Every structure is written in C-alpha cells, then in structure tokens.
Amino acid sequence: MASVVQHSVEIDAPVSVVFAYVDDHERTKDWMYGLHEIRPVTEETHGVGATYDGVMKLGVTLTSRIRCSAWVQDELLEIESVSGIRNTQRWTFTDLGDGRTRLEAWISYTLPGGPAGKAIAAAVKPVIGIAIRHTSEALVHAIEGL
C-alpha cells in the first residue's frame, strides 16, 4: 500500500531560481533530509530520462534508481523509481508574483511487504514528519540565502 506525503512552502525567490535550485542534483544533498548519495547514471542530468542512483538514510538505508518522468521548465519536476524502494516525487512551482514562489511537493512511496517491510516501516514512519519539516526549512533557507 502506498503512503502519500504532501507539503507546500512559499519561498522569497523567483520561480526560475527555485526551479533551477531544485533541478540541480548536485545541490539536493544540501536540502533533502536523509539523502546520503545521489549519483547520475545517464549522461543527461536534467529533463525527462535523466536517471540517478540514490541512497537515503532514514533510520534504515533505502536505495532506489530514479528517473525524471516529467519536466516542464519553471513548472514541474516529476521523478519515479525504476528499481529499489518504489516512489514518485512530484514538485510543482507556482509564480506568486513579487519574486515569490510556492513550491508544492507530492511524494508517494511503497515499502516492501513481509517482515522486512514491517521493520523498514517501523524505522521510517517516525522520521517522515521530521524529514519534511527539515527539508522545507533547509530548502527555503538555501534558496533565500543565494
């Protein structure tokens, strides 16, 4: 069964700046809570088809190969897993005017079943709220500090 997390934050920066920052895989570890490693596995590192191997540590180590499945400049980034922990991340960007941006995150993930899945869920579930708050705060702070 999939779990879904949604969160929205307003950032005091133009949408083009926010989009470019979130789209830059080299900066992702600076703001995404628990992200231990993200490594491109394709020559393309932006746009549909860009693929990465990622390792997250959220009480347990979770690995996935993820691929960009939708990309619209300054509007949308969507990433889906192709192996490992099943997940989809959708980031939407809204220009609020006056140099402000609303960034909305929609994340769906499915942990494995059986005893291993239960152990992973027990370790991950308490961390999700902390991860979301930390990620939002770090992202706002990083972008507004540019």
The CATH number of whichever domain residue 123 belongs to comes to 3.30.530.20
How high is the pLDDT of residue 2? 78
Q: What is the pLDDT of residue 109?
A: 84
Query: Model's pTM, two decimal places?
Result: 0.89
pLDDT tens for the chain, residues 1 to 146 = 678 889 999 999 999 999 999 999 999 999 999 999 999 999 999 999 999 999 999 888 989 999 999 999 999 999 999 999 899 999 999 999 999 999 999 988 887 788 877 777 777 777 777 888 889 999 999 999 98
CA dist., res. 122 & res. 46, Å (int) = 34
Number of domains in the chain: 1
Nearest alpha carbon to residue 52 among 15, 89, 107: 89
Q: What is the pLDDT of residue 4?
A: 86
Q: What is the largest CA-CA distance in the chain?
A: 51
- In angstroms, the CA 105 to CA 101 distance is 13
Structure tokens, 25: 């895989």
Range of the structural domain that residue 92 is part of:
3-144
Q: Quick one: pLDDT at residue 1?
A: 65
Cα separation values, 51 from 39, 62, 69, 111, Å: 9, 17, 9, 21
The whole-number pLDDT of residue 111 equals 77
